[in-house]
Structures are given as structure tokens and as C-alpha cells.
Structure 1
């Protein structure tokens, strides 16, 4: 979950996307796609592995493992959408590259501006999907950990702080 939010944080903001070739946007996208593809692969592999484990060892496959697996599976949808948007952003970055290295002609400035806007839209969407996946995973982890925590015994009592402090050092 933190890794997905970290990838989102490293994506360029719309205000950081510039038409000049040295802006670093393509490199930022490359890093994000590589990292996100790795995390997406982890999600898919973990879901498949746990499914195999459940079939092979049904008596060991606990409700908590099932819920954890379902949480990872739910995270795959927004993570996949983020990856798709990054794919579109790479396409726009390629178009931006072509425009940057082409002789200006009629409509060049408009094409350049439109391509930057398209790139910004896809990066913004990818960021939103990644943050949504991270929020969902955090909420699921919190829910699973809360459900797992043992309840305090009903007959458990504690001494008031003042009462326990008053016994210290007296009567010895």
C-alpha cells in the first residue's frame, strides 16, 4: 500500500510537465511503469499462489487469509487502471517527443499544448487510481487487524492510578 502511494507521489504533477525534451517526464514515466508493473505482478502472483494453497491445503487456509487475498485482489483493479493510464501517458510522451523533434509547422503549438494536456490528464488519473488502491489496502488492513485483535476479558479490572501509587514505598 505504501509502495503504491509512493509511486503516485513520484509521478510528475501537471505543472511539472513541459514541452522541452529535457523535462525528465519520460524517465519519470519509465520508472513508474516499471515499479507499478512489478507491484501489479506481485498482486496477481499472490492471489494465484493463495488460491493454489487454498485448494491444496483447505484445512490451513484461514478466514483471515481469504480476506487478505480478497483485499489484494480488490487492489488489482485500481492498480491496473493506473497502469493503463500510464500506458496512455507513455503514448502521449512519445507524441510529445516527436513534436519536439519535428520542424514547427501549422498547428504545431496547438498540437504541443494538446499533447501536454493529454499527458497531464493520464498522469493525474494514474495518480488518483494509485492513491485509491493504497487507501483501499490501508482500510482493508485496518479492518483485518482490528478483527484479528483479541478482545479484553470482561472481568479484567485495573487499579486506579492514584490507588496503585499510594501503596508504593509504604508499609515496608
Structure 2
């Protein structure tokens, strides 16, 4: 969960995207996509592995393990949407590259600004999806850990009754 939030935190902000400067937006996207792909692969691998283990060893597959697997599987959807948004961001970054290195024509400045805004929109969507996945995983982890914690001992509601003496001398006097 923290890794997904870290990827989102490292994505460039709109103030960092300058089409005419030597910004590292494309490198930032490349790094984020590489990291996110690794995390997405981990989610898919873990779900598939746990499914195989459940089929092979059904008695070892506890309810908590099933819930944990389900939580990881649920995180794959927003993570995949973030990856798709970053794919669109790469497309916009390519368009921005093209416009930046092309001869200026009428409307060139407007095209640059529009493309920069489109790029920012895709990055913002990716960030939103990643934070949503991280929040969901954090909530699921908290729920699973809370369910796993042993129940607190209940308070005594009555006074203890003293045990009867086991001594034979106490009865025959």
C-alpha cells in the first residue's frame, strides 16, 4: 500500500511540466510506469499463487488468507486504471515532445498549452487511482488486523465464589 502511494507522490505535478524546458517529465513517467508495473505484477502473481495454494492445500487456506487475497485482488483494479492513465500520459508526453520540437505555426502556443493540460489530467487521474488503491489496501489491512487480534478478556460480572474445603475435617465437627 505504501509503495503505491509512493509512486503517486513521485509523479510530476502540473507546475513541473514545462514543454519548452528540459524537464524530466518523460523520465518521471518512465520510472513510475516501471515501478507501477512491478507492483501490478506482484498483485497478479500473489493472487494467482494463493489460488494455486488453496487448490492444493485447501485446509491451510484460512478465512483470513482468503480475505487478504481478495484485498490484493481489489487493489488491482485501481492500480490497472492508474497504469492505463499513465499510458495515456506517455501518449500526451509524446505529443508534447512533437510540438516542442516542431516549427512554430499559428496556434502552436495553444496546442502546447492544451497538450500540457491533457498530460496533467492523465497524471492527476493516475495519482488519484493510486491513492485510492493505497487507501483501500490500508483499510483492508486494518480490518484484517483488527479481526485477527484476540478478544480482550471480559470483566468479571460477579464476585468469585470461594471453593469448598476439600478437607474431611471441615464437615464432621
The residue that corresponds to 1:124 in the other structure is: 124
Could you state the TM-score of these two structures normalised by the residue count of structure 2? 0.88
Aligned residues: 157
Name 1:164's counterpart in structure 2. Answer: none
Q: Partner of 1:76 in structure 2?
A: 76
User: What is the match of residue 47 of structure 2?
Assistant: 47
Q: What residue in structure 1 maps to residue 6 of structure 2?
A: 6
Could you tell me which runs of 5 or more consecutive residues in structure 2 were left unpaired when the two chains were aligned: 157-173
* Aligned counterpart, 2:25: 25
TM-score (structure 1 length as normaliser): 0.89
1:155 is displaced (CA, Å) by 4.5
Counterparts of 2:129 and 2:145, CA distance in 1: 24
Cα deviations by residue, 1:4-58 (Å, 9 ceiling, x for unpaired): 0000000011121111251110000000000000000000000000001111100
Distance 2:118 2:144 in 1: 39
Q: Give the Cα–Cα distance (whole angstroms) in 2 for the partners of residues 56 and 23 of structure 1.
A: 51
Contact 1:21/1:97, CA 8 A, preserved across alignment: no
- TM-superposition CA deviations, 1:38-84 (whole Å, max 9, x none): 00000000000000111110010000000000000000000000000
Q: Match of 1:170?
A: none
Higher Rg of the two aligned structures: 2
Shift of 1:123: 0.3
1:87-166 to 2 correspondences below 5 Å: 87-155=87-155
Q: CA deviation at 1:124?
A: 0.3
The DSSP-based 3-state class of the residue aligned with 2:60 is coil
CA contact (8 A) 1:21 1:100 kept: no
